[in-house]
Chain A
Amino acid sequence: MKIEELLTHTGEWLRGEGPSANIVMSSRIRLARNLAKTPFPSRSTKKDLETTLNIVEKIMVKVPFLKGATLFRMNELDQVDRQMLVERHLMSHEHASNPDGKGLLVSTEEIVSIMVNEEDHLRIQVMRSGLNLTEGWDIINTIDDTISKEIDFAYLENWGYLTSCPTNTGTAMRGSVMMHLPALVMTKQINKVLAAISKLSFACRGFYGEGTQASGNFYQISNQVSLGHSELDIIQNINGLIRQVIEQEEQARQALLVQNRPMLEDKICRCWGLLRTARIISSQEAIELFSMVRLGIDTGILKDVNHKALNELFIVIQPAHLQKIEAKKLNSFERDTKRASLIRQKLGGKDV
């Protein structure tokens, strides 16, 4: 697959369906794995890094869910290409900024990706739509089992999987859930909820899209502890917490609808109108408007748009995507113009 082919579709996990898709945008499971006998990437020689990449290339054909997958070598891609992979949530920003010896394996529907030679030799990631960590775990567990038949992983019985950073040691698993919590923000309850989450040693970031502008209504919640609990226990803990947050958000949405329906309708419809008519728009503004439109879909106030269309826009309005679509470098002003026209097109706005 050539990298441009990614532009013809969006990841399967952005289809906007699945459990609690009205509040949970997506779920991600990540496993870190290292080869037992090769120094971790930060202390690997150039030759070590190349050997690790070649091993991955050789075994990928045997791994389920990776049929037809592509291995991108970072130093064969230019900066915009690499940034595009970051914008698609397939890899970290760190992986793009220092390309030597690094690779990225991407499955056809972008459900699975494997960063090779990031901080650890392998960073396996599975993305699912909605609240679906359990399904994500089933997939990643199968992939990990298959790879572990081919590769000796760094592992100690008492400490589990050994990782470059001791915060990942043990299961080396991180489960993250991207939540959309506009009503908790609007009713000023979000800080209370976030404080409760952090008390339970979960991480919460009011931060959407690494390297792009953020919106306050999207929050990514993930486990911090990876040692001393089984993978399924960790997932159950996250699920339990997320369900509570979902309930709170649902109550807050109800409260807004009951007490303030005309104001909520006005706010949502204005945002919808802005998106369909604006000529110049920053990604920060766009994401804030998307958030309101999303709430409009979930409350039944807006009927001519769905999650999938909106989710796709989240990805393609980012700087590298805009430049790949136009196939040329764009300055900030050109991007804001192109972004606005893409959004109008996608949301059925009128070009006068």
Chain B
Amino acid sequence: MQCDICGKKKATVHLTEIVDEQMSEMHLCEECARQKSSQMEQQFGLADLLAGLSQTTPMVKESKEGMLKCSDCGLNYEDFRKFGRLGCSQCYVSFKENLSGLLRKIHGSSHHLGKTPYALKAENPVPVSSSAALLPSENVEGLKKQLQIAIAAEDFEKAAMLRDKIKGLENG
């Protein structure tokens, strides 16, 4: 049996792929199977989702998107759409509007319910008097950093809370 993709080499890998409840069998050579499997691993329908997203976006926005660029790493939104990879954590802030819809499409939700990094657990109310025992990023500088992120992400509720906490620490 010959490889379904290159049609040249002998098919040694037999793959079952399910897309939209449709199952298809593929017979691939080792090399093509590798490519295929890393694609599947990484892009699980992402290209389709991205394409679908641009179809539903009005033309006016299209040209705006064309100029959209990450303020930190310089990645164009256009390039993200092509390759499906973001360039840095700031990309999530720079492309916030577009990503919000995309994340909801991929995951059916755009609200994280999992764990929190150790440093940010500092958001739990901490008695101001015990400032000597504060965790590394529970100091004013760390909180200011978080405040910047919160403002950039337009998470105003969190920003207000952080602002209060910083005030408390600075006055205490």
**A interface list, Cβ under 8 A from B:** 34, 36-40, 42-43, 92-94, 119, 141, 144-145, 148-149, 152-167, 169-171, 173, 191, 194-195, 198-199, 201, 203-207, 210-214, 216, 224-231, 233, 282, 284
Contact = CB atoms under 8 A, between A and B. Distances in A.
**Top 6 nearest A-B pairs by Cβ distance?**
A228-B109, A160-B112, A154-B89, A206-B16, A171-B114, A227-B107
A166 B37 contact: no
A156 to B, nearest CB: 6
B108 interface: yes
B83 to A, nearest CB: 8
A342 B107 CA distance: 46
Contacts of B12: 213, 282, 284
10 contacts: A92-B41, A160-B114, A161-B114, A167-B42, A194-B16, A205-B40, A212-B30, A214-B14, A225-B107, A229-B109
A203 B117 contact: no
Nearest to A156: B153
Nearest to A219: B16
B110 A226 contact: no
Contacts of A39: 72-73, 87-88
B85 A42 contact: yes
B114 A205 contact: no
B60 to A, nearest CB: 24
B68 interface: no
A40 to B, nearest CB: 6
A114 to B, nearest CB: 17
Interface stretch (B98-106, B124-132, B164-172): B98-106
B13 A214 contact: yes
Contacts of B44: 167, 203, 224
Contacts of B87: 39-40, 42-43, 164
B23 A195 contact: yes
B14 A216 contact: yes
B88 A43 contact: yes
Contacts of B21: 195, 198-199
Contacts of B84: 165-166
B108 A162 contact: no
Contacts of B85: 40, 42, 119, 164-165
A224 B40 CA distance: 11
Given A164-B85, A195-B21, A228-B111, A155 B120 contact: yes
Interface of B: 12-16, 18, 21, 23, 30, 33-34, 37-38, 40-44, 46, 72-73, 75, 84-89, 92-93, 99, 102-103, 106-120, 136-137, 149-150, 153, 155, 158
A171 B112 contact: yes
A40 B86 contact: yes
Contacts of A203: 40, 44
Contacts of A282: 12
Contacts of A173: 114
A225 B42 contact: no
Nearest to A147: B118
Contact of A227 (B89, B112, B158): B112
Nearest to B16: A206
Nearest to B86: A164
Given A152-B137, A213-B30, A205 B109 contact: no
Best-buried of A149, A158, A170 by chain B (most CB within 10 Å): A158
A194 B15 CA distance: 13
A155 B33 CA distance: 34
Nearest to B106: A167
A167 B47 CA distance: 11
Given A167-B44, A211-B34, A156 B106 contact: no
B115 A231 contact: yes
Contact of B14 (A34, A36, A199, A206): A206
B117 A157 contact: no
A171 B113 CA distance: 8
A163 B116 CA distance: 15
B9 to A, nearest CB: 12
B107 A228 contact: yes
B144 to A, nearest CB: 14
Nearest to B25: A206
Contacts of A191: 23
